[in-house]
Chains A and B, each alone.
Chain A
Amino acid sequence: MLEGLLIGLETAMSFQNLAMVIAGCLIGTFIGMLPGLGPMSIIAIMIPIAISIGDPSAALILLAGVYYGAIFGGSTSSILLNAPGVAGTVASSFDGYPMAKQGKAGKALTIAAVASFAGGTIGAILLMIFAPMLSSVALLFHSAEYFALMVVGLSAIAAFAGSGQVAKAIVMTLLGLILATVGEGTLFSLPRFTGGIMDLQSGLGFVTLAMAMFALPEALFLVLKPKEAGSAGGDIKDLRITRSEARAITPVIGRQSIQGFFIGVLPGAGATIASFLGYAVERNLASKEEQAEFGKGSIKGLAAPETANNAACTGSFVPLLTLGIPGSGTTAILLGALIALNVSPGPRLMIDEPQIFWAVIMSMFIGNLILLVLNLPLIPYIAKVLSIPRNFLIPFILFFTLMGAYIGQNNATELLILVGFGVCATALKFADYPLPPLLIGFILGGMLEDNFARSMQLYDGISFIWERPMALGLLVIAAMLLVLPSYRARIARHRAGGVADGD
């Protein structure tokens, strides 16, 4: 391994490759900040440039830099505008945006930067150690286990719901699951619930729906209820994290780096599930007072998904580099770029072209460091977005929202869908229904159905649930995630009732 590290360091430290990392991170951060432009579209834009470089190591280093940059930039727009451009940063907006509204935008961005750095760096160390071994772990997962994993993801929704909101959260989740069934199912190549509209044949677009659930209602809310929306001033002095805050988020970062990485390794799971599960797990682990803060600007609630999604991004390189199997849309595009550059990722990559494998790992360290160094001093300027009077901000949110939905699909129908859902979402927001569960239900619904349908067909029924112990285990965890919060709440109430003069 030491030899590999040296090869990687030598390749990554060349002037050209260092320039690639810096350029990639910068481009990724700036484009990633625009809502609607996720890493997938940015990498797709960058591919022709990367291929024209010709050197596979340099090209992959550039694209990997763009990838981390985009994830980081995406969390910036989640925190400042509540407009996540990437599914993986949806969870960051749960607590990041309330923090920004409380005037702690600078602190939120600092926590995001530090958590991303830690998640990415620890992920890269784990990748280095585990890549050779992990390639076989991903193969233990059959469709049945993926189905169970999606159920775990859905059950985590209980954690998102505040007190008295459980029923509303479940309704919204079901709505999300229903929306996910629009379009063609994997098993039956016939369009469902499309109303004969061609544009719905492949289902609703994620970016469109995310924009309609988060960005558009935000802008409309500002117009309709200007007083309640609360003005987040441009208070950016509060950049520093206090020592007690640092102590609070350190264990979160430690746990989520590891959990996020391992979730990222599984093909198809990736940063999105890692960030949702990270949020849910940390909420369950937190003490009661801290739990109440989740969703209202908890620093733990921000650090958890930020760490997890970056660690998962790194983790998703494991199946890509060791098996040639893309675990996510983004790594699928990277795979396409590698093939165009005449590199076939697979078990032989480490043996045949070790300089590529190790250079990518080394560039992950360098990229994360550069992101931290670049972003910490830049945060006051980035956060200045918030000192713009809200009246000027609304058109910008609308512009980027509409642009984002259009660019993703190049289809004007998306705009109609966006506005239609956006109006519905605004109504739901006024009625105090939580919108994130809808989006989670939508994201997980498609994968849930595909894997369930495949398992059903493979086992001629639902016997896979008890015939595959790992799937059963995951389903038990899902049930515990559902029951535990209400059980804990009841215990706490019971205790409070029994002790007359509690401390």
Chain B
Amino acid sequence: MMTFKLNRRTLIAAAMTVFAIGSSAHAEEAQVLDSIHFLIPGGAGGGWDGTARGTGEALTGSGLVGTATFENMSGGGGGKAIGYLIENADSNHGTLMVNSTPIVIRSLTGVFPQSFRDLTLIAGTIGDYAAIVVGKDSDINSMADLIAAYDADPSATAIGGGSVPGGMDHLVAAMAMEAAGRDALGVKYIPYDAGGKAMAALLSGEISALSTGLSEAIELANAGEVRIIGVTADERVPAAADAMTMKEQGIDMSFVNWRGFFGAPGLPADKVAAYQDAIAKMYDTPEWEVVRARNGWVNIHNSGDDFNTFLEEQEQALGDLMRKLGFL
């Protein structure tokens, strides 16, 4: 019985393999999974950059995709890359653009005229929580300390971030202060045009705390540069088991920044399917697990129509919140 089962399983596996080979042969015919060109709307070293390069690494490492190339096109808060992809749609069938929650926030605030509806939705792949971090030598050890410092001298307790005012990093800091019963707009938010410069400002003591993505925070915390004082997850994240969540500290808020991939408008259906297929298969590979665990990402897979529903819901929720906080 046992042998039979195994045999049947082997058979199914064999059939699956044949199917997989068949589909990849088909894909090769269509010249899609041979290579993917990742368009990154921000500079090197940021969250979008890490997501695209990590996904590329897993896809090529596992053999799902032959080669991956990357292009950084920063500007206009990501609007430049979106505009580029729409304007040159026909010559970009081999391109996937990485994006995340800001595409929703920025079309709400009107930074760029387009929204996710103008692109072909491929899939949401991961989520990254947000975090508030302080420098390694800071006196602040918890959110309570930060709020106490804010109460003592609001104008000397600046929080920095890598996004523009009204952008995601600002929104997270404001949400945390709002949830702690303080005036969300009273927080002095200092924008930096890149994550690296904001880090330098934190280490030099120019800002008291930094609002950033958890995966970037974990990397810096592991390097011994910063301490994470609050994570916007519901429960502690295994990759940063020592870092307390906001909820643990009595601040009732949570926030997930999704990240996912978009194609040019009018992308042929077979190519959309091939991209979605490659991404769906990626989750089961050990190469992906290595990349995911290293960055502390959370798998949130939304493909095609699910992705659309997810984005519409987020747009509604964020829009309500931003109106409440006075950002819109």
Task: Write the residues of chain A forming the contact surface with B, with a CB cutoff of 8 angstroms.
Answer: 44, 47-48, 138-143, 184, 186-189, 198-199, 201-203, 267-268, 319, 323-326, 329, 332-333, 335-337, 339-340, 342, 344, 346-348, 410-411, 450, 454, 457-458, 460
Contacts and interface: CB of A to CB of B under 8 A. Distances in A.
A186 B191 contact: yes
Contact of B196 (A203, A335, A340, A342): A335
The 4 closest A-B pairs by CB, nearest first: A336-B44, A202-B75, A189-B164, A346-B223
A47 B200 CA distance: 25
B74 interface: yes
Interface string B202-225: 011111000000000001101111
A242 B165 CA distance: 58
B58 to A, nearest CB: 12
Nearest to A146: B197
Given A325-B199, A335-B45, A336-B53, A188 B165 contact: yes
B219 to A, nearest CB: 6
B201 A332 contact: no
A200 to B, nearest CB: 9
B70 A332 contact: no
Interface stretch (B78-86, B140-148, B241-249, B259-267): B78-86
A201 B79 contact: yes
Contact of B206 (A143, A189, A344): A143
B7 interface: no
B43 to A, nearest CB: 6
A454 B190 contact: yes
Residue in B75, B192, B207 whose Cβ sees the most chain A Cβ within 10 Å: B75
Contact of B219 (A138, A141, A199, A344): A344
Contacts of A203: 75
A143 B201 contact: yes
Given A139-B200, A410-B88, A198 B71 contact: no
14 contacts: A48-B69, A188-B165, A189-B167, A198-B76, A198-B83, A202-B74, A324-B220, A325-B196, A336-B45, A344-B219, A347-B225, A410-B88, A454-B191, A458-B206
B194 interface: yes
Contacts of B194: 326, 332
A347 B199 CA distance: 14
A48 B113 CA distance: 33
A40 to B, nearest CB: 9
Given A188-B165, A339-B53, A347-B225, A202 B188 contact: no
Contacts of B88: 410
Contacts of B190: 454, 457-458
Given A340-B57, A457-B190, A201 B75 contact: yes
A460 B155 contact: yes
Interface residues of B, number: 56
B56 to A, nearest CB: 8
Interface of B: 43-45, 49-50, 53, 57, 67-77, 79-80, 83-84, 88, 109, 111-113, 155, 158, 164-167, 188, 190-194, 196-197, 199-201, 203-207, 219-220, 222-225, 294
B230 to A, nearest CB: 22
Contacts of A48: 67-70
B77 A189 contact: yes
A342 B80 CA distance: 29
Given A143-B206, A189-B166, A454-B190, 20 more contacts: A44-B72, A138-B200, A142-B201, A184-B76, A186-B191, A189-B109, A201-B79, A202-B74, A267-B200, A324-B196, A332-B45, A332-B196, A346-B225, A348-B223, A410-B73, A410-B84, A454-B191, A457-B158, A457-B190, A458-B188
A339 B223 contact: no
B49 A336 contact: yes
Given A325-B197, A332-B196, A186 B74 contact: no
Contacts of B196: 267, 324-326, 332, 335
A122 B69 CA distance: 36
A162 B44 CA distance: 40
A273 to B, nearest CB: 16
Nearest to A139: B204
A149 to B, nearest CB: 14
A73 to B, nearest CB: 22
A275 B71 CA distance: 29
Contacts of A347: 223-225
B167 to A, nearest CB: 7
A202 B49 CA distance: 19
A97 to B, nearest CB: 31
Contact of B193 (A186, A333, A344): A186
A143 B77 CA distance: 22
Contacts of B84: 410-411
A36 to B, nearest CB: 17
Contacts of B294: 342
A252 to B, nearest CB: 31
